[in-house]
Amino acid sequence: MTQIKIFDTTLRDGEQSPGVNLNQLEKLELAKQLERFGVDVMEAGFPASSKGDFEAVKQIAETVKNVSVAGLARAVKSDINACRDALINATNPRLHIFIATSPIHMEYKLKKTPEEVIETAVEMVEYGKQFFDHVEWSAEDASRTDLDFLTKIIEKVIDAGATVINLPDTVGYTMPREYGAMFKYIKENVPNIHKADLSCHCHDDLGMALANSVAAVENGATQVEGTINGIGERAGNASLEEFAVALKIRNDYYPYHTNLVLNEIKRTSDMVSKFTGMTVPGNKAVVGRNAFAHESGIHQDGVLKNAQTYEIITPELVGVHSNNLVLGKHSGRHAFTDKIKQLGYDLPEDKIKEAFKAFKLLTDRKKEVTDEDLFAILTDIQTDTSNVKRYKLDNFQVQYGSNDQPSATVSLSNPNNEKVKDTSTGSGSVEALYNTLDQIILEETHLTDFQLNSIGQGRDALAEVHVSLTVDGKTVSGRGSAQDVLEAAVQAYLNGVNRAIYQKKAI
Q: What is the pLDDT of residues 208-236, one digit of tens each?
A: 999 999 999 999 999 999 999 999 999 99
State phi, psi for 421 to the nearest 5 degrees. -140, 140
Annotated binding site: 13, 201, 203, 237
> 114-129 and 147-160 are packed helices; what angle lies between their axes, rounded to 10 degrees?
30
The average pLDDT across 167-184 equals 98
pLDDT tops 70 at residue 386:
no
The half-sphere exposure of 57 on its side-chain side, counting CA atoms within 13 A, is 32
Residues belonging to the chain: 507
Q: Are strands 256-257 and 2-3 parallel, antiparallel or unpaired?
A: parallel
Between CA 436 and CA 409 the distance in angstroms is: 7
The average pLDDT across 239-266 equals 97
* 3-state class (DSSP) for residue 97: strand
pLDDT tops 70 at residue 301:
no
Nearest by Cα to 250 from 294, 276, 290, 218 = 218
The least confident of 146-155, 301-310, 363-372, 481-490 is 301-310
Between CA 156 and CA 464 the distance in angstroms is: 52
Supply the pLDDT for residue 296: 44
Higher pLDDT, 195 or 344: 195
Between CA 193 and CA 306 the distance in angstroms is: 48
pLDDT tops 60 at residue 353:
yes
Annotated binding site for Mn(2+): 13, 201, 203, 237
Strands, sheet with 404-413, edge to edge from the N-terminal-most edge strand: 392-401, 404-413, 419-425
CA angle 5, 8, 9 (to 5 degrees): 145
pLDDT grade for 113, boundaries at 50, 70 and 90: very high
Between CA 417 and CA 271 the distance in angstroms is: 32
User: E strands within 302-438?
Assistant: 325-327, 369-370, 392-401, 404-413, 419-425
Q: Which long-range contacts (CB under 8 A, 24 or more apart) does 111-117 make?
A: 114/149, 117/153
pLDDT grade for 294, boundaries at 50, 70 and 90: very low
Q: What is the pLDDT of residues 312-324, one digit of tens each?
A: 888 899 998 754 5
Supply the pLDDT for residue 385: 60
**DSSP character string of 451-489:** EEEEESSSTTPEEEEEEEEEETTEEEEEEEEESSHHHHH
pLDDT tops 50 at residue 303:
no
Greatest mean pLDDT among 63-77, 295-309, 486-500 lies in 63-77
Instruction: Provide the b/e sequence for 7-36 (b: ≥16 CB within 10 Å).
Output: bbbbbbbbbebeebbbbbbbbbbbbbbbbb
Supply the pLDDT for residue 384: 67
Contact between 142 and 157 (Cβ < 8 Å): no
Torsion of CA 272, 137, 129, 56, to 10 degrees: -20
Residue 283 one-letter amino acid: N
Percent of the chain with pLDDT over 90: 70
Q: What is the pLDDT of residues 447-474, one digit of tens each?
A: 999 999 988 777 888 899 999 999 999 8
User: E strands within 197-314?
Assistant: 197-202, 223-226, 256-257
Mean pLDDT score across all residues of the chain:
91
Between CA 120 and CA 415 the distance in angstroms is: 49
Torsion of CA 253, 255, 258, 262, to 10 degrees: 30
Residue 310 to residues 241, 293, 375, 488, Cα–Cα distance (Å): 20, 10, 30, 38
Q: What is the pLDDT of residues 23-66, one digit of tens each?
A: 888 899 999 999 999 999 999 999 999 998 999 999 999 999 99
pLDDT grade for 169, boundaries at 50, 70 and 90: very high
